[in-house]
Amino acid sequence: MDTLCSLSGLDPLWDWNQTWYTHNPELSNCFQNTVLVWAPCIYLWVLSPFYCLHLYCHGRGRLPLSSLCSAKLLLGFFLASFGFVEFFYILLERRQEIQQHLVFLLSPVIRSLTVVFAVCVIHWERVRGCRSSVFLFFFWLLGVVCSLIPLHAKVQLAVDQGLSPDIVRYLAFFSYFALQLAQLFLSCFADQAPSGKAVLKNACPVQDASFLSKILFWWFSGLLFKGYRSPLQAEDLWSLREEDTSEKIISDLEEEWTAERTKLQQQENHLSTSIALGSRLPEQAQFLRKIQKEQSSGFCLLRTLARSFGPYFLTGTLCLMVHDAFMFSVPQVLSLLLGFMKDEDAPLWKGYFYASLMFLLSCLQSIFNHQYTYTCFTVGMRVKTAVMGLVYRKSLVVNSAARRTCTVGEIVNLVSADTQKLMDFVVYFNAVWLAPIEITLCLFFLWQHLGPSALAGIAIVIFIFPLNGFIARKRSKLQEIQMKYMDGRVKLMNEILNGIKILKFYAWEKAFLEQVLGYREKELKTLKKSQILYSVSIASFNSSSFLIAFAMFGVYVLIDDKNVLDAQKIFVSMALINILKTPLSQLPFAMSTTMQALVSLKRLGKFLCQDELKPDNVTRESFKSDVDGVVFENGTFSWSKDGPPCLKSRISVRVPCGSLVAVVGHVGSGKSSLLSAMLGETEKRSGAVSVKGSSAYVPQQAWIQNASLQDNILFGREKKESWYQRVLEACALLPDLDNLPAGDTTEIGEKGLNLSGGQKQRVSLARAVYRKADVYLLDDPLSAVDAHVGQHIFNKVIGPRGILRDKTRVLVTHGMSFLPQADLILVLVDGEISERGSYQELLNRNGAFADFIHTFASSERKDCFSEASQRGSRRLSVRLSVTEYMPFSRDLSQEQLISGDTNSITFEPLPDSDENHIQEDLGKLTKVDKARIGRVKLEMYIEYFHTIGLPLIVSIVFLYAFQQAASLSYNYWLSLWADQPVINGTQLNTDLKLGVYGALGFAQGIAIFGTTVAISLGCIIASHHLHLELLNNVLHSPMSFFESTPSGNLLNRFAKEIDAIDNMIPDGLKMMLGYFFKLMEVCIIVLMATPFAAVIILPMAFLYGFIQSFYVATSCQLRRLESVSRSPIYTHLNETVQGASVIRAFNEQSRFIMGVNHKVDHNQTAYFPRFVATRWLGVNLEFLGNGIVLAASILSVMSKGTLSPGMVGLAVSHSLQVTGFLSWIVRSWTDVENNIVSVERVKEYADTPKEAAWSIEGSSLPPSWPQKGTIEFHDYGLQYRKGLELALKGISVHIKEREKIGIVGRTGAGKSSLALGIFRILEAAKGQIYIDGINIAEIGLHDLRSRITIIPQDPVLFSGSLRMNLDPFDAYTDEEVWNALELAHLKNFVSELPDKLNHECSEGGENLSLGQRQLVCLARALLRKTKILVLDEATAALDLETDTLIQSTIRSQFEDCAVLTIAHRLNTIMDYTKVIVMDKGHIVEMDSPSNLIAKRGQFYYMCREAGLL
């Protein structure tokens, strides 16, 4: 190169004296005309083949020729032409001495050819659809940077000599530089989208952003501006990018996971078969094998996620490594700057150069750091989507045995808490392996500065590591324990919310409240231990920089008097130690997060590897009318692989196509199991089952979605009006629609809360009928409806003349009147078919069935409805199932609102605006979880800190101030030490200096521990109060609250929001206060060194304040929107898990999967901008903060003569931390504000209406009240909401002691409303109810409800022991409990259970049949044995034999009690003292049954309809 330059008469390529050791540095002409010209060219020619190949492999469609692209091409041709012009100019002007101008001749040609090639690359990018070129951006940037030095030289030369000597070359260079700048400017923008590509509505702007906009996150600014101007709404958010959508992510991942799972199962099967047949593993070995299986399933999941998301994650890891390289460069440049300050002869330009270099490195460090974090959060978001999708899909296919091991609460926890742990793991995983490398590098550089003394720092690190490793392990164990308690608490809350009505009827709220608080107390106790350990960890890490410095400086000065600590050694070491703090603080957190993630992976893997329903349990074939619809061949079935068979003796049944098969038998005989076997829900042990054509299923307990009535019936199918109307009429739903406020578009609450039991069952039946399936499996659908409604449905739908007459129907029933019309009857006894045949055949056999029929059906007539009776009841049957459903009203009874003609509904007069409002919300029921808007109010902070307590807050602030004062003192002490003059090669009083430094540092460490413990304890106190308040508020709410608030919303409060208050707020406060006080310290130090810095710091402070308010407004609203969109996911999951068998029966899995995909994507549309907002904030704040570094450095250089190196070192090393501090203050402040939203959401229910007091202090209620059991209604009226007509009108009745009262009436006549009034579920609108002469409105709710008993229609059990379900307060002895079970005909069943009374009931009591659950409810009543008993259709789920036994039990055991029965089966009340007949909220008849029949009133016609006359 030197030879080429010398030929052209130029200086050598490099000359240090010209470049570095001078007051006016410049590069040689040879370097300027060769290296600086050729460097960009080499970059383009070497890398472009790889880049073009990349474009070829990843084409995105041809781009249109836009004005931007045209400008780039045009500028490119101009740039190329300048080089050629220069080449020909030299060729013509200097042709005589061409050899002396070879360099000047070659460079323009190379440059022009390179630009022509760049133009070709621009065109190729357009062809392959590249809209923003990173590759060419760096080419033009390199070109501009390399042209800056020649530009400076030429400008200097032009100033000194003028332009005249070589004006053409000057003009050519300046023009070329201007065009290069223009090209660089144009490459900062992105081109138009490919033509013909579908544009998403509100598409994410990152896809249209240029490279520069992407790395600086400027593309996000639009949303921030919008959020600053007005609070963001859900519709303002961008659509997800295609690669972030659930459909894209899960479709790719599901295949991978299925392959992994199959491989794991094969290993498991191989292991099982390798064990010798007949041998049994010892218990310990079995346990170890189970643990090993759980772990391997977790690792399988991790491997699958790594394969899908690993490559993108690795690009982030690369950014982190580049960030680290820049991070370690900064202390080296600081060392050079401090060396410059010490050297009196050093030229000023070097100081400015070092200051600028430090600024540039800091900026690059920020850019790469935020790119890494952005990548991590994007991967975390995708992992969350993937895991949620896998868990949801699994919940649809998991078999019954596996389903019983994991409750709804646990599954909700998997998609909430465990996915969050995996997201944290993605963000912090790299620290696990990179932190030790960073620590090693720091110690290496420290060794360079301090020699062997650095080993003392290593010793401190070695001491801190095991300590924090031990703490991390302990915290991981505590975390597992805490998660277990949290799981238990959330699971229990889920059950409480599902069974809240039962808790209120039985006054059991306190017992369950104590159980929840028991879990909570253990949870907080574990959290407290964990937080104290964490405080030790934080104290050791925050003091680690001091401890390492103290050890190293101490050893350094003590081993040799000649070892002098100057500014360079001290502050470069301190800068390195500050770098060291990051990996040291991250490592335990990363380890802890990794441990937690492994626990979560194990839990997720265990669930995702649960056994699934086998597709071969049932053979599904296409429908053929000439073959049997359902065939069983030698079938044996069980609910689990290893459990006892529920259907045994090799069942063989053939159900002819188009026939009606009735299945009868006692409770628990296996009727529902038979239908489950047809659906493939049970484990097939042997034999075969085949079903021809599509199937529809009506479960015993109707499953209703939280959707409109129409959506529940259509269930994803297209609406065909004529068929739809026919189905509604057949299922007796038309009268209901007339009275629903929005007809069939009225929203139905979760689990059909605002429908009666009968209505729910009819909607469930209508769903099946509308489907037009080939095979109908009907599990006792007529049990919950009135006898006459049941008869109507049988005739119109199920029977030989019903709309399903040509379909194959399998009907489980207890109704004897339907059996004569069945083609085939199967009699089940203990899981075996004991008899089969037609009704007449079975009677003729004179077997068990015939005896049963003769005993229980002797009074029934086959011809239930004569033509005359039909005519007589025509007027009444018009209202077979009328339910008035008013706007905003929700009845808590089984009936729901009071029945009547549509024209009888009256409203209070309403203003016009209210009417409009009502019309808008007509049919809406559940309150959507809405996001609040605007900033969190100051009162919320005050309220939160008020719960912590003023003394604790004062002590926290004092400890922080003390801690930072100690830190400031020992840092200033170091600068004084560094500036101390060296006398005879030593410094004086080093022992004293070291002692003072040590004392101040240790004082700071103790203060750090004190502050973190104080904050943790204060926040735990606040968390305890807030949870208790939330729990009390929810449990004291009336039933109307639970019916209008989706359980997902409430569960979200108890799970995610409480978790945020437990963990996120304390961490945010620690961080915010810590960084705020550190910032105060840094500002004081910088101002002490360079007071002029105030001119820079003050405007920066205002700018920071503006950015903070700008960012917080948007960030808080995004947090709220994300929080609100999370609840529907849990509600949907909850609903799906409970209705999985129905969804599978109707083959609707794909629709539900699409539904959850939409909900997850909707949630991610709020989550994605949330974390991008943090990156935008970080980049912008750190760039501004780097300006403070530049200012401090430049001001120090300018004040070189007056400032000591020690002070400069102190100021600059601390200013390097300012960017981090300011950024973290705003982010932690935002985190606190974002998480204070959780406090806001938890406090939300403080203002909702509450029930009356549970108990009244000083009440004079006798302990044995009520002694007689008399009930008096005095002109009693009840309404569901103000503005609605009274549901009960002027009820006056006197029920004497020991009277047995039957309450009858059409659906919706007000029967259950009487029960609601007695239990004060609804308060009286007028009049009073007296029990034993005491007005029930004047006593506490628990005093009332605990002294009277109800057996409700829906039998609800809670997970826990059978004993707890009977007696949650432990008020009765075991003997009394066994006695109650014997009377409830459950003693034999319970005594055969392995754990007897301690038998664990699964969630909702699903491991007992519906009939057995009803018997448990009866046992509860027998145990309480109060003087008043209310039965609400309590025997609807029982077979007639058990029903008769129970009726006799009730008659004998409650002989001396007043019994009120809300009856649908009139034969159960024919021997009662009195019967009350209700209609439209009035008592229309009341007398003994015989007298009422004699009067031939309404009761008489009802008896005729029921076939009792």
- Each residue's pLDDT tens digit, 1012-1040: 899 888 889 888 988 888 888 888 888 87
Higher pLDDT, 1385 or 869: 1385
Counting every residue, how long is the chain?
A: 1509
Backbone angles phi, psi at 1328, to 5 degrees: -140, 160
Q: CA 1216, CA 577: separation in Å to the nearest integer?
A: 13
pLDDT at 1 over 80: no
Across residues 318-347, what is the average pLDDT? Answer: 87
Q: How much is the pTM?
A: 0.73
- Non-local CB neighbours of 258 within 8 Å, separated by 6+ positions: none
Tokens of 573: 């070491």
Share of the chain above pLDDT 70, in %: 87
Residue keyed to tokens 């958010």:
237
Tokens of 338: 């401090």
Across residues 782-794, what is the average pLDDT? Answer: 79
pLDDT score of 2: 53
pLDDT score of 13: 64
User: 1322, 1313 in Cβ contact below 8 A?
Assistant: yes
Q: Please give the helix or strand (H or E) that residue 635 lies within, else none.
A: strand 628-638
pLDDT at 595 over 50: yes
**Three-state SS sequence of 746-757:** CECCHHHCCCCH
Confidence of residue 894 (pLDDT cuts 50, 70, 90): very low
User: 1352, 1432 in Cβ contact below 8 A?
Assistant: yes
Q: CA 1216, CA 1204: separation in Å to the nearest integer?
A: 18
Q: Which amino acid is at 1419?
A: A
Tokens of 1241: 């959401």
Distances, alpha carbon 1506 to alpha carbons 754, 1221, 1460, in Å: 27, 80, 20
User: 676, 682 in Cβ contact below 8 A?
Assistant: yes
pLDDT at 1253 over 90: no
Confidence of residue 846 (pLDDT cuts 50, 70, 90): confident
Q: In 1141-1168, which positions are buried (b, 16+ CB within 10 angstroms) versus exposed (e)?
A: bbbbbbebeeebbebbbebbbbbbbbbb
Among 1504, 1507, 1506, 1501, residue whose Cα is nearest residue 1479: 1501
- State whether residue 981 is helix, strand or coil: coil
Q: Are strands 628-638 and 645-656 parallel, antiparallel or unpaired?
A: antiparallel
Q: Is the link from the previous residue into 981 a cis peptide, with omega within 30 of 0?
A: no
pLDDT at 1146 over 60: yes
pLDDT score of 198: 54
Across residues 5-22, what is the average pLDDT? Answer: 64
Q: Please give the helix or strand (H or E) that residue 1500 lies within, else none.
A: helix 1498-1505
Across residues 1347-1351, what is the average pLDDT? Answer: 86
pLDDT in tens, 601-631: 888 888 888 888 888 888 888 877 767 788 8
Dihedral (C-alpha) 1185, 1188, 1189, 1193: value to the nearest 10 degrees?
170
pLDDT at 1388 over 60: yes
pLDDT score of 863: 35
Confidence of residue 314 (pLDDT cuts 50, 70, 90): very high
Higher pLDDT, 83 or 399: 399
Confidence of residue 325 (pLDDT cuts 50, 70, 90): very high
Find the range with the poorest average confidence among 263-272, 702-711, 885-894, 990-999: 885-894
User: 261, 225 in Cβ contact below 8 A?
Assistant: no
- State whether residue 1369 is helix, strand or coil: coil
- Non-local CB neighbours of 203 within 8 Å, separated by 6+ positions: 238, 239
Q: In 1290-1319, which positions are buried (b, 16+ CB within 10 angstroms) versus exposed (e)?
A: ebeeebebbbbbbbbbbbbbbbbbbbbbbb
Across residues 466-475, what is the average pLDDT? Answer: 81
Q: CA 1211, CA 905: separation in Å to the nearest integer?
A: 80
Among 601, 594, 610, residue whose Cα is nearest residue 300: 601
Higher pLDDT, 829 or 756: 829
pLDDT score of 1440: 67
pLDDT score of 382: 92
Tokens of 442: 């720091």
Across residues 264-286, what is the average pLDDT? Answer: 59
pLDDT at 1357 over 60: yes
pLDDT score of 916: 38
Strand order in the sheet with 645-656: 619-621, 683-692, 628-638, 645-656
pLDDT score of 1257: 77
pLDDT at 869 over 50: no
The DSSP letter of residue 1454 is: T
pLDDT score of 1344: 85
Tokens of 565: 């600590």
Across residues 877-901, what is the average pLDDT? Answer: 28
Name beta bridge partners: 1308: none
Distances, alpha carbon 704 to alpha carbons 778, 897, 1145, 1435, in Å: 16, 18, 15, 22
Count the Cβ atoms, other than its own, within 10 Å of residue 325: 13
Higher pLDDT, 429 or 273: 429
pLDDT score of 855: 65
Tokens of 35: 């290296």
Across residues 910-918, what is the average pLDDT? Answer: 37
Among 1401, 1397, 1463, residue whose Cα is nearest residue 1435: 1463
pLDDT at 518 over 50: yes
Q: CA 582, CA 580: separation in Å to the nearest integer?
A: 5
pLDDT at 1276 over 60: yes
Distances, alpha carbon 1127 to alpha carbons 1043, 1051, 1122, 1234, 1327, in Å: 16, 8, 9, 17, 41
pLDDT score of 1316: 84
Distances, alpha carbon 1054 to alpha carbons 489, 496, 879, 1029, in Å: 9, 12, 43, 11
- Non-local CB neighbours of 1467 within 8 Å, separated by 6+ positions: 859, 1506, 1508
User: 816, 862 in Cβ contact below 8 A?
Assistant: no
Count of H-run helices and E-run strands, the chain: 51, 22
Rg over alpha carbons for the chain, rounded to the nearest Å, is 40
Higher pLDDT, 588 or 1007: 1007
Across residues 460-465, what is the average pLDDT? Answer: 79
Tokens of 790: 């049941």
User: 1322, 892 in Cβ contact below 8 A?
Assistant: yes
Strand order in the sheet with 1288-1295: 1288-1295, 1271-1278, 1324-1331, 1334-1335
User: 772, 783 in Cβ contact below 8 A?
Assistant: no
Q: CA 798, CA 817: separation in Å to the nearest integer?
A: 13
pLDDT at 1222 over 80: no
pLDDT in tens, 1038-1075: 887 887 777 778 888 888 888 888 888 888 888 888 88
Mean pLDDT, all residues of the chain: 80
Name beta bridge partners: 1324: 1278
Q: CA 324, CA 341: separation in Å to the nearest integer?
A: 27
pLDDT in tens, 1419-1448: 888 888 788 888 876 555 566 666 777 777
pLDDT score of 321: 92
User: 1362, 1398 in Cβ contact below 8 A?
Assistant: yes
Work out the end-to-end distance of the chain between its first and last CA atoms, rounded to an integer number of angstroms: 120
